[in-house]
Amino acid sequence: MSIFPIIFIVNIIMFDEKRRVYSSERIHFRIRVDCDSPFSYFFDDFLRFIKYMITSRSMTDKEQSCFLSYLALNTSQVNNIIVFYYAFCRLFSLFLDNIYMASSTRKKCGTGSDCKQAGVANCEGCSKVFCTKHFNDHRRSLDEEMNVILSKYNDFKNTTIQEPTIVNIQPIIEEVNKWEQESVKKIQQNAAELRNELLQLRTAHIESLSTKFQSLAEQMKKGQEQQDFLEADLLRWEKRLDDLKSNLISPSAINIKQDDNIPLVHLIAVSYLSTEKNELFDRIFNDKVRIEEGGEVVVALKAFMSYTEVRGKNSYEFGPHKIRLLLENPSDQWTFLGINSKSTPLQQSSFSSKSAYGWCSSNYIYSNGSYQFNKTNPPIQMKQNDIINLIFDCDNCKISMVNERTKIKHELIVDVNNCPFPWQLHVNLRQPESRIRILSA
């Protein structure tokens, strides 16, 4: 008795993880047929038939006529083939039963409708499992949503680029114009006053000089008339005359001096204030700390000697953001400042969680769930009454800390696999009466 292997070739739908598409793949599996049985005579036909039946789930009219003409050419074998067909059907239904039994342990399609198909593909975005058809439907609906967002983006882009007037800066420009006119008016007025003052000074100066000339002339006249003068008098009168003459040409008493303390015109500058709401403290891990002044201040209780986490209200996902913190601590308290992922639950030693990134006052850097001593010089400083600027650069996955007193900047690259967006302001306090205030940016 010899045994021939029969190779079944079946089309199955495979999910290509890399390209995220479905593709049709052929798999081979084998059964064994006893060659001494009558079935083996029709081995080739049987094989072709089975191949055909399995690879084409439903035959088109053309395929059917081809198939029938194939059978007509082999009339002597038709009956046997028909017998085989039933045998095959039995075999195939067993095969399907196996598939069904295997699939019954799998998840059902999670499309939400009455689909009874097994879920064969996971969507990583929503963690649902779908059958082939509904997975494709799901992707199509996501494509449609994507197109809606893209068209909104294009509309927005076109309006802002083609109609820059949509951003109304006219009132600000008018304010600048007003400042210009008022400043020019002030300067002109001041200059006019100065000119007037100079004219008055000149008149007074000339009057004073002519009085002096007159007095000198009288002295000389008197001396001449009475012949009452010596060499010394001549010398003195000549010197006095030179003196008066030089005073007339360049009045040394008049000059312009600048007063830096009282600016005539105050400089103005344009500054852009983001319309985003200011940050506030919002969540606390336990009641060992208290949020005060509507969220602007967080303060640790008097009898407190452990760690606790405090979070900000805002979520940061795009663009740069700056938060200014004033350390109103009674002394140089232990403080951790940085970010945490919004999805990470609040905890006591929050700085050691994988999603925590930041710095602490004892000169340690925290990232990826571990910490290290800051070897760079100068060290991280968070002293009493220091103002710390925290900058969250979401677009570049980077955070930085600048102490306004020391002007020293520390930077940290954030691995968003560990600290997924959105980020939140993350503070951890340890000592009694620690107190931090959020200043307006």
Residues whose CB falls within 8 Å of the CB of residue 311, separated by 6 or more in sequence, listed in order: 281, 282, 283, 284, 340, 346, 424, 425, 426, 427
Stretch that binds Zn ion, among 105-113, 180-188, 272-280, 360-368 (CB under 5 A): 105-113
Rounded to a whole number of angstroms, the minimum distance from the CB of residue 144 to Zn ion is: 13
Rounded to a whole number of angstroms, the minimum distance from the CB of residue 399 to Zn ion is: 31
309: left (phi over 0), alpha (psi -120 to 50) or beta: beta
Rounded to a whole number of angstroms, the minimum distance from the CB of residue 43 to Zn ion is: 39
Rounded to a whole number of angstroms, the minimum distance from the CB of residue 22 to Zn ion is: 13
Largest CA distance in the chain: 173
Number of other residues whose CB lies within 10 A of the CB of residue 146:
10
Q: Considering beta carbons, is residue 87 or 142 the nearer one to Zn ion? A: 142
Residue with token string 């006893």? 34
Residue with token string 């300067």? 187
Q: Considering beta carbons, is residue 122 or 363 the nearer one to Zn ion? A: 122
Rounded to a whole number of angstroms, the minimum distance from the CB of residue 116 to Zn ion is: 8
Q: Considering beta carbons, is residue 115 or 241 the nearer one to Zn ion? A: 115
Q: Considering beta carbons, is residue 114 or 395 the nearer one to Zn ion? A: 114
Rounded to a whole number of angstroms, the minimum distance from the CB of residue 101 to Zn ion is: 20
Q: How far from each other are the two terminal CA atoms of the chain, in whole angstroms?
A: 90
Rounded to a whole number of angstroms, the minimum distance from the CB of residue 23 to Zn ion is: 19
Tell me the C-alpha distance between 192 and 264, whole Å. 14
3-class secondary structure per residue, 188-213: HHHHHHHHHHHHHHHHHHHHHHHHHH
Rounded to a whole number of angstroms, the minimum distance from the CB of residue 12 to Zn ion is: 17
Tell me the C-alpha distance between 62 and 66, whole Å. 6
Rounded to a whole number of angstroms, the minimum distance from the CB of residue 110 to Zn ion is: 8
- CA nearest neighbour of 398 among 326, 316, 282: 316
**106-135 footprint of Zn ion as x/- string (CB under 5 A):** ---x-x---x-x-----x-xx----x--x-
Q: Considering beta carbons, is residue 19 or 277 the nearer one to Zn ion? A: 19
Bridge partners of residue 310, in order along the sequence = 284, 427
Number of residues in contact with Zn ion, rule: CB under 5 A? Answer: 9
Tell me the C-alpha distance between 278 and 274, whole Å. 9
> Residue 267: what are its φ and ψ, rounded to 5°?
-65, 145
Q: Considering beta carbons, is residue 5 or 112 the nearer one to Zn ion? A: 112
Q: Considering beta carbons, is residue 123 or 326 the nearer one to Zn ion? A: 123
Q: Considering beta carbons, is residue 118 or 323 the nearer one to Zn ion? A: 118
Q: Considering beta carbons, is residue 33 or 123 the nearer one to Zn ion? A: 123
Which DSSP string corresponds to 115-180?
Answer: --SBP-EE-TTT--EE-HHHHHHHHHHHHHHHHHHHHHHHHHHHHHHH-GGGS--HHHHHHHHHHH
Which residues are near Zn ion by CB under 5 A? Answer: 109, 111, 115, 117, 123, 125-126, 131, 134
